[in-house]
Chains A and B, each alone.
Chain A
C-alpha cells in the first residue's frame, strides 16, 4: 500500500485548526489555512470535455474559478442537498472551489489526536488523507486537499489529451 513517506514531518505539522464538513455521511476536515471562504451553491457553468468531477466554473466576484465535486471525485453517489455549498480553497495562489454536502464547524485538533490513516477501509484513497483526527468524540478524516486537487488536475489534463488525440 502506498503510505506517507514523509510521515514524521507530517505528524509534527498536522496539529491545528480544521474546517469540518460532511460528505455522504462522513465528517471530513480541511486545514483552515487553506480555506479562503465558504459560499452558497450557485449556478455552475459546465466545461465540456472535462472529467466528471470537474463540475465547471463559477464567477467569484469577477474571477473565474473551477469547481470540483468531491462526491464524484471520491466515487460516491451523486446527491444534491439544500445545504450543499462551495468551499473556496487557496493553493499556491490558485483558487479552486470544492462542492460539499454541508459545512460543520471549525475545530482545533491536537497532534496527539491525529493518527495516520489506516491503509484500508477508509472508503477513499488513503493518499488523499493527512490522517484521522479525533475531536468532540467523533472521527474526522483530514483531507490533504493539495493532493486531492493536484491529482484531479493531472487526470483532467490526461483526459483532455486522450480526447484530443
Chain B
C-alpha cells in the first residue's frame, strides 16, 4: 500500500489550518509512522519526529502561536526532505540497519494493515472519515463485539506489561502488547472510531520503539504504557457511554496530555527511562525489582538473576515466558457465545431433565411389563444428567482474569504508598459462575488495596520487627465442601483486638466486648463508617467502604471470615457458592401453594409445644425457643393463602434469619429438599415483594423462591400498617 511521503505531508500541511484538528491528527500520525517505521533515512528521522511533535502541540492547543508552530513544522519537513534527497543521491543505504531485524520479528504491521482503511495513505478519504470524529459511526452493529474483544486485549496487555516489568527483555510480552494495540488500531479505524485508532497508533509506536530496541523498557516507559492501556480502556468506556446515549463519544480526561506524552517520549529526557546502552540500565532494572515485584516468585527470582548481568539466564526466562504465553493461548481457545443463548440452553436442558423424569416415572413402568423400554429410558436419563452437568459448567469461568487485574492494583497501590509488596496468586484456574466473577471483582479490588495500604507495613516498620523488606499479599482460590474459597492473606501488621474494640465503642457500635469472640470483633470492620486507618490516603479513602464490600459479597451469597494475629498478618476468607443459578432450597407447603426457602437461611424447623407460644402486646405472636424470643410470621397471612394451617401447633415453625433478628415462619409442612435453578419472574411483573424469583419444580410447575430478609421486613411493615387490601377477594384457582 502507498505510504504517505514527505512530499505528500508538505502538500497536505499547506492546505490545513490550526482548526482542522482531525486532519492534523492524521497528518501527525502519518509523520510519526514515517519517523518510527524507518521509511526515511535515519538522519531525517529526528526532523520528522519533531514535525509530528509540534503538530501535536497545535492539535492540543498548547502552542502560543499556531502560525509560528506551522512554520516550524514545515521547516522540519523541508529539512527532512533535504536529508532524504541527500542520502538518496549518496550511495548510502536509505534505511538504517536495525529495521531488517524488526521486520523479521514483526509478524503484523505491514501485512495486516492492508485491509483497514488507511490511516494516512489517502488523506482526502480519511479526512472525510474524520469529520465528527467524536461521533459514533453509522454502523453500530459491530461495536459491541469490538468492545468485548478490545477489552480482552486491554486485559492481556496489562498482564503482559506487568510481566515485562518483571523481565524487561521478555520479547513475547512486548509483542503481545504491540499486537493488542495494533489490532485495536486496525479494527477501530475500520469501524470509523478515529480517536481510538489515533490513540492506539501512538501507543503502538511507543511499543514498536521498545520492540526494535530503540528504547529500553524502563520505569518511565512502563508507566506510560500502563497509562496508555488505561486510556484505551477509558476510550472504550466512552464508546459504550455513547452507545447508550446520543452517539457523542465523550473525551476521557487527560487524553491529549497522554497522547503528547507518548508521542514525545524520549528516554533521555525522562529521568527514569534509561536507554539500553548506558551502564546504569542494569541498576535501574534492579531498582524496579526492589520497588515492586508482582506475580510469581519464581519469575522474580530469575529477574534478579538477570540484574546480576547473567544474560543467558535472562534469555532462558524470556523463552520460558514465551512458552507460557503460547500455552495460555492454547488453553484459552474459545468461542464467544451470547449469555442469553447460554441461559436458554440451560433452561432447555433443565426442561429436558424434568421431561425425562416424567417419562421414567410413568405408571407404565410400575406394572413391570416394559423392562426393555425401562432400560432404554434409564439409559437416556444418564445422558440427560450428564448433559445437565455440562450445560451448568458452561457458565463457569476461571478466576484468572480477576486475579490478573489485581496484580495491577497491588502494583499501583504499593508504588503510591511507597511499599514493597510481592503479590502471589494461586488457584487462578478455579472456576466460578460468570455473574459471580463480575460482582466479586470490586470487593476484591477494595480488599487488596486495603491489604497493601493498611495491612502491609512500610519497609522501615517491617525492618523494625524483623520482617523482610518485601511484604507479601497472597491471593488463593480453592474448592471446599461445594463452595469456592478465595483467601486474601497478607503478612502485615494484623488486626489488634483492643484497637478495634476501642474504636467500636467510640463510634457507638458496641457497648463492650464482653462475650465477643475474636472473629466477632474483627467483623466490626465491616460495620458502616468504621475505619481504623490512621491516615486517609487517596488509595483507601476513595471507593467503597468495607460495609459495601460485605454487602456486595452477601448479594452473591458469599461470606467473609477474618482471622488475624497481631504482627502476623490478616487472612480474609471469602466463601462463595459455585453458581448463583442453582439454589439449595427447602420446598415448603402453605395451603395448596408451595414456596422454596433457600437452605442457607434456615436454621431449624420444629413443631412448637403450646407452652412455647405466647402473644406479646405490641409484638404479636412470639415463640420461645431455648431462651430466645422470636416473632412468628404467618406466611399464609402475608401471602394471602386461604386454606392453610392456622395454628402453629398443627404446622411447623421454620427459624430463619441471622444473628439477633431471627424469625419463625409458620408453614404447613416441609415437602423436601431440592436443588433448583433460580429464574426471574419476568420483567413484566417487576419486583414482587418477598419473592426473589421462581424455579421449575419436579412436576413442571413453577415454585416461588422466598426472599427471606424481604419477607421478614414485609411482615414487620404489615404489622405496623395492617393490610388495606380486600382480604376476602376471591382467590382464583388455576383451571
A160 to chain B: which residues have CB within 8 Å? 686-689
- Closest chain A residue, CB of each to CB of B346: A62
Q: Which of B350, B690, B734 contacts A62 (CB 8 A)?
A: B350
Scan B172-194; emit 1 where CB is below 8 A from any A CB, else 0.
Answer: 00000000000000000000000
User: On chain B, which size bracket covers the interface?
Assistant: 35 or more
- The answer on a CB contact under 8 Å between A164 and B689 is yes
Chain B residues within 8 Å of A41, by CB: 734-735
Bound Cα distance from A93 to B109, whole angstroms: 43
Interface: A65 (CB within 8 A)? yes
Stretch of B15-23, B249-257, B544-552, B696-704 at the chain-chain interface = B696-704
* CB under 8 Å from chain A, chain B span 667-690: 679-690
Q: Are A94 and B683 in contact (CB under 8 A)?
A: yes
Instruction: Check A57–B682 contact: CB distance below 8 A.
Output: yes
Asked if B533 is at the interface (CB within 8 A of a chain A CB), the reply is no
Does any Cβ of B come within 8 Å of A14's Cβ? Answer: no
| A156/B735 in contact, CB under 8 A | no
Q: Chain B: which residue is nearest A55 at the CB level? A: B732
Chain-B contact segment, one of A25-33, A42-50, A132-140? A42-50
Nearest-neighbour CB distance to chain A for B675, whole angstroms, equals 15
Nearest chain A CB to B493's CB is how many angstroms away?
A: 46
Q: How far, in Å, is B328 (CB) from chain A's closest CB?
A: 36
Residue among B638, B700, B714, B735 with the highest chain A CB neighbour number at 10 A = B735
A113 within 8 A of B: no
The answer to whether the Cβ of A126 comes within 8 Å of any Cβ in the partner chain is no
Per-residue CB proximity of A6-46 to B under 8 Å, as 1/0?
A: 00000000000000000000000000000000000111111
CA distance A84 to B693 in the complex (A): 27
B679 to chain A, nearest CB (A): 5
Interface residues on A, range: 35 or more
What total count of A-B pairs have CB within 8 Å? 113
- Say if the beta carbon of B730 comes within 8 Å of chain A: yes
CB distance from A1 to the nearest CB of B (A): 28
Name which residue of chain B comes closest to A85, CB basis.
Answer: B735
Q: Identify B723's interface contact among A43, A47, A59, A163, CB under 8 A.
A: A163
Per-position 1/0 for A48-68, Cβ under 8 A of B: 111010111111011111100
Q: Are A52 and B729 in contact (CB under 8 A)?
A: yes
Contact A153 to B638, CB < 8 A, known contacts A47-B691, A163-B723: no
Q: Complex formed: what's the CA distance from A153 to B687 in Å?
A: 10
User: Is B365 an interface residue when CB atoms closer than 8 A count as contact?
Assistant: no
Residues of B within 8 A of A118 (CB): none
Q: Is the CB of B679 within 8 A of A63?
A: yes
B639 touches A45 (CB 8 A): no
| A149: interface (CB < 8 Å) | yes
Query: A78 contacts the other chain (Cβ, under 8 Å)?
Result: yes
> Is A45 in contact with B682, judged by CB distance below 8 angstroms?
no
**Known A64-B694, A164-B714: A57·B685 in contact at CB below 8 Å:** yes
- Contact flag A45-B683 (CB < 8 Å), given A78-B732, A160-B689: no
The residue in B685, B731, B735 that gathers the most chain A C-beta atoms within 10 A of its C-beta is B685
Of chain A, the residue at the smallest CB distance from B694 is: A64
B685→A50 contact, CB < 8 A: yes
Per the 8 Å Cβ criterion, residues 64-81 of A in contact with B are: 64-66, 69, 72, 78, 80
Q: Is B721 an interface residue (CB 8 A)?
A: yes
Give complex CA distance A71, B257 in Å.
Answer: 65
> A49-B640, A57-B681, A163-B725 given as contacts; is B703 within 8 A of A62 (CB)?
no
- Residue of B593, B684, B703, B730 touching A94 (CB-CB under 8 A): B684
Q: What are 9 A-B contacts defined by CB distance under 8 Å? A: A44-B734, A45-B593, A48-B641, A49-B690, A64-B682, A78-B732, A84-B735, A94-B682, A165-B721
Which 10 pairs of residues, A with B, have the shortest CB-CB distance?
A62-B347, A48-B639, A62-B351, A45-B702, A44-B734, A64-B694, A66-B685, A80-B735, A157-B686, A96-B684
